[in-house]
Amino acid sequence: MTMSNPGTHLAPPSSSPKPNGSFPMFDNGNVVIQSKLASSYNQTMQLHGAILTQHSPYFSRTIKLRACAWHYFTIESSNDGQINLISHDSQLSNRPVTNALEPCHATLIDGVKIKLEDEDSEIKPESKTGTEVEVNATRSYTQVLALFYDIQLSSFPHPVAKVLGIAERLVQTSIELECLPIVRPHLGKLLGEYRHDLFVAIKNDPPRWIKLGEALENKSIYAECLVHMVGAFPTWPWSPASRASISPELRQLISKKRRDIDQLKVDIEKDLLVVSLPYNERPLDPTERDQTETWLVVAVFRDQLAQKIYRLDPHYSSEALLKQGTFYRSLAKGLFEPLDGERVRRACQGIMRAEWKELLDDLEMLKKYASEVVLPLAFNGLMIDPDANGVGYLTCAKVEDDDIPWLRARSS
């Protein structure tokens, strides 16, 4: 079987019958697919076996094994709640008789029926009712099969936060029908239409989004998720259930990248805590009267950093790790509040004899040095501004092509 190039429009094979009717009900179709779910979406499609077998190895195996005029499939829910397409083995010479042979309710798009009624209904992946799951499943079969007829997926009418469950179901259906390469570019394009909003949504559940990104072979989604998960590791500020779904290989990658960041953090903190200002190219000597004030500013600078670094140690607080990024990014911007010039002046008040402007210059030199030292930790590998979107952990993980499973497989 020859799979159509997923990056191009799908075209019916030359040997296919000329469609008579409109999707999903063709008068000369020989494959009937009926939803048997308990929801009100008891829908039927009548499609062409020649087109289905061209684009789906699943249909190719199932249909070609049976020399019969008609083929009958149903969409059913099993006892464990899984929804699948079921092939019926009976040798059919006539059109199958169904209990409620009603076409899919649809509107016209470019003259072709495709969009299910009530498509604007809200899908809640975390708390779906049985009906919502079934509607989502029925719709996904219709949309995937429509691609075989070169009918593009219509833009999602939902906010991006509600699209994840819909996209997951489309991928699940595509895997079942063994046509994921066909669906990937279309679904990736629709998700890309959300632009910035897509990456804001990813921060709320990167463990689920990374699985979708891998299935779609979408580097942008996968890398965004990986940066989040490395930054928060080993804490898990997302759904506990999603933790078990992470593969051992991905867990090892996250752990390794986090160890690299932790070592970088140790090295940078060491530089910060031994920072000083030279005095005639020599270290400061607090016993020298003309150096005491500068030494004091340096001591206050170090003390404030040491206190903050200690409070951000995971041993101090289990949630401290989720605030490390905010600190280092603010330090890189020179915005760390305890090092504000007026605060330091008050801390040193009463024992300083030098002009404050001169000591303020010393403080600014120290802050400038610190802002440069912490740049590797303050680096933002996300497509969004972490501080503007409530992301407190470090976002400095670098994602290389070798970290992306499908890119690594292609290069090996």
Q: Cα separation of 152 and 101, whole Å? A: 26
Q: Give the Cα separation of 380 and 279 in Å (integer).
A: 36
> Quick one: pLDDT at residue 286?
55
Residue labelled with tokens 């070169």 = 150
pLDDT at residue number 322: 96
The pLDDT of residue 108: 36
pLDDT in tens, the chain (412 residues): 334 444 334 434 334 555 677 899 998 999 999 988 866 455 789 999 999 999 999 999 998 877 778 899 999 888 777 889 999 876 565 666 554 444 444 433 333 344 433 444 443 444 444 555 666 788 899 999 999 999 988 878 778 888 999 999 999 999 999 999 999 999 999 999 999 999 999 999 999 999 999 999 999 999 999 999 999 999 999 999 889 889 999 999 999 999 999 999 999 999 999 887 654 455 665 556 666 677 888 888 889 899 999 999 988 887 899 999 999 999 999 888 877 777 777 777 766 666 666 778 888 888 899 999 999 999 999 999 999 999 999 999 999 999 999 999 998 7
Q: Which of 187, 194, 112, 191 is nearest to 144 (CA)?
A: 187
The C-alpha atoms of residue 46 and residue 245 are separated, in whole angstroms, by 37
Query: Looking at residue 308, what is its pLDDT?
Result: 93
Amino acid 153: pLDDT: 86
Domains of the chain: 21-190 (3.30.710.10), 258-389 (no CATH)
Q: Which of 167, 171, 146, 145 is nearest to 158 (CA)?
A: 167
- pLDDT tens for 321-335 read 999 999 999 999 988
User: Which pLDDT belongs to residue 114?
Assistant: 42
Condensed to tens digits (0 to 9), the pLDDT of residues 347-373 reads 777 666 666 667 788 888 888 999 999
Residues with Cβ within 8 Å of 140's Cβ and at least 6 positions away in sequence, in order, are 166, 169, 170, 172, 173
